[in-house]
Amino acid sequence: MADLQVRKLCRTFSNQNESLTILDQLDLDLNRGENLAIVGPSGSGKSTLLQILGVLDKPTSGSVELEGKNPFELGENQQAKFRNEHIGFIFQDHHLLPQWNVLENTLLPSLAFSRPTPTLQQRAKSLLDRVGLSHRLNHLPSQLSGGERERVAVARALLLNPTLVLADEPTGNLDQENAERIGELLLEVPKEQNAILVVVTHSNDLAKKLSRCCELRRGKLVDVTGQIATGPLRS
Ligand SMILES: Nc1ncnc2c1ncn2[C@@H]1O[C@H](COP(=O)(O)OP(=O)(O)O)[C@@H](O)[C@H]1O
Ligand SMILES: [Mg+2]
């Protein structure tokens, strides 16, 4: 069984009049150390899938198991704990807390259940060093560029050594140089930690760097690895 195993995943959004099936019997297998790019037109359900993998939304039916555990069978508190311990989520708009400095924002995942230990403080500093921000520990998000803020978000997502790192269009708002830098960090650091990495992206350049690429098409993932070099992504 794969470290991340998704089976017959469905997500339907309903209102009084209609029901919209966004994910339709989707299957996915990924092991630690592997990475996957997900591409597809806007509205195809990429964020919906990532939110479910990140346990921020729940499936209508089907199963998700991470290292043999299905987070959707857990109670609310246990689920929050699971998310915190196993999942690192990098949002496009970074979601940093404006009143907290770089170091504090990076330590955020450790604050959910306890005060950060000296070991975690050290780890936060070393991750911030890794993303090139060791000289900005006391700066507020407003004092950073967009690329720097995104790098803090990467460090924060990796703090608790997650099994699964998820990034939703992490380079969407960045210039090319910063996008490349974030892309490299995203590839390198999870790999060093033997995590699973899933990146949703509109960027051909980023998608091509990942070892597998799937397109979300009619609610399912279709392997398009090797096909993106030939032309622009449809979006
Ligand atoms: N909470 C929701 N309620 C109703 N429809 C939703 C909700 N979230 C997403 N959708 C719809 O699901 C579809 C896929 O959205 P999304 O996953 O954000 O696509 P993508 O990230 O590929 O652009 C869109 O049509 C969107 O409007
Ligand atoms: Mg999206």
The token pair that represents 225 in the structure block: 């690895």
Q: Which atom of ligand 1 sits closest to the CA of residue 15?
A: 4
Per-residue pLDDT for 114 more than 90?
no
CA 56 to chain centre: 11
Per-residue pLDDT for 174 more than 90?
no
One-letter amino acid for residue 37 of the chain: A
Distance 98 CA to ligand 1 centre (A): 27
Q: Give the 3-state secondary structure of residue 87.
A: strand
Task: Mention every residue, 6+ apart, whose C-beta is less than 8 A from residue 94.
Answer: 141, 149, 150, 152, 153
Q: Which atom of ligand 1 sits closest to the CA of residue 57?
A: 1
pLDDT of residue 177: 85
Distance 66 CA to ligand 2 centre (A): 22
pLDDT band at 169; cut points 50, 70, 90: very high
Name the residue at shortest CA distance from atom 27 of ligand 1.
43
Sort residue 143 into left (φ over 0), alpha (ψ -120 to 50) or beta: alpha
Per-residue pLDDT for 230 more than 70?
no
The token pair that represents 40 in the structure block: 């597809």
Residue 127 · residue 55 · CB < 8 Å: no
pLDDT of residue 235: 47
Pairing of strands 35-39, 212-217: parallel
Residue whose pair of structure tokens reads 């339709």 in the numeric block: 24
Distance 150 CA to ligand 2 centre (A): 17
Average pLDDT on 77-91 reads: 93
Q: Which CATH architecture has domain 4-230?
A: 3-Layer(aba) Sandwich (3.40)
Per-residue pLDDT for 229 more than 80?
no
Average pLDDT, the chain: 92
Name the residue at shortest CA distance from atom 16 of ligand 1.
45
pLDDT of residue 82: 94
Distance 43 CA to ligand 1 centre (A): 6
Residue 2 · residue 29 · CB < 8 Å: yes
Name the residue at shortest CA distance from atom 5 of ligand 1.
13
pLDDT of residue 189: 86
Any atom of ligand 1 within 6 Å of the Cβ of 113 = no
Cα gap 208→151, rounded to integer Å: 21
Q: What is the pLDDT of residues 31-70, one digit of tens each?
A: 999 999 999 999 999 999 999 999 999 999 999 999 999 9
Task: Mention every residue, 6+ apart, whose C-beta is less than 8 A from residue 60.
Answer: 10, 11, 12
Cα gap 203→172, rounded to integer Å: 8
pLDDT of residue 16: 86
Name the residue at shortest CA distance from atom 11 of ligand 1.
43
Identify any residues that bridge with 223 across adjacent strands, giving them in sequence order.
Answer: 214
Domains in the chain: boundaries: 4-230
Pocket test of ligand 1: the residue of 9, 11, 13 to mutate, having most ligand atoms within 8 Å of its CB, is: 13
Per-residue pLDDT for 120 more than 70?
yes
The terminus-to-terminus CA distance of the chain in angstroms comes to 33
Residue whose pair of structure tokens reads 């997500």 in the numeric block: 11
Any atom of ligand 1 within 6 Å of the Cβ of 11 = no
Per-residue pLDDT for 94 more than 80?
no
Average pLDDT on 138-142 reads: 97
